[in-house]
Structure 1
């Protein structure tokens, strides 16, 4: 009789662990692709700033300086324009209006 109770207890515990694991996986998958924090309450997509800025600055005469500025702009604006130059307007006012202390455009 005691053996059956042990088997039942082990079965119930195993079931609880499996249900908890399934719930945890679902929560992780739902939370991964976006980060909350857009000023309008909408989720902001997560982007690979380092990779996108590497492509953006690949042909720049000073790639390290370009990547540093691009990384700052990407972090703040959550956008990097396509291509190696131009297309800045595709990222909106945040990207196009950001300036340095010397009042020059910051984002490449």
Structure 2
């Protein structure tokens, strides 16, 4: 993918991620949002060369937050994408790996602290 479309793809995804991080930081009850556009952009990036395996070594890292009892999908942890004080909670470990690969491919900055 040439630099122009890559930059535009990353820019659009960053806008969605800002809303995602804000939503997670100011969660109201168990309200969930539909992030279909964000995941479509991430899939476009992954198909354009942002291989999760190649981009795991970077400022964004996959992490886990342990749970006292099984949560979504029966997991005993919440998969995270982490950089500095920014934590993005995800549903599956695979989503965390894909998001981390995409964020490192884009050179995404930290989204600030709470």
TM more than 0.5:
no
For Structure 1 versus Structure 2, the TM-score category normalised by the shorter chain is under 0.3
Normalised to the residue count of structure 2, the TM-score between the two structures is 0.25
Normalised to the residue count of structure 1, the TM-score between the two structures is 0.26
Larger Rg belongs to: 1
Structure with greater strand share of residues:
2
Structure with greater helix share of residues:
1
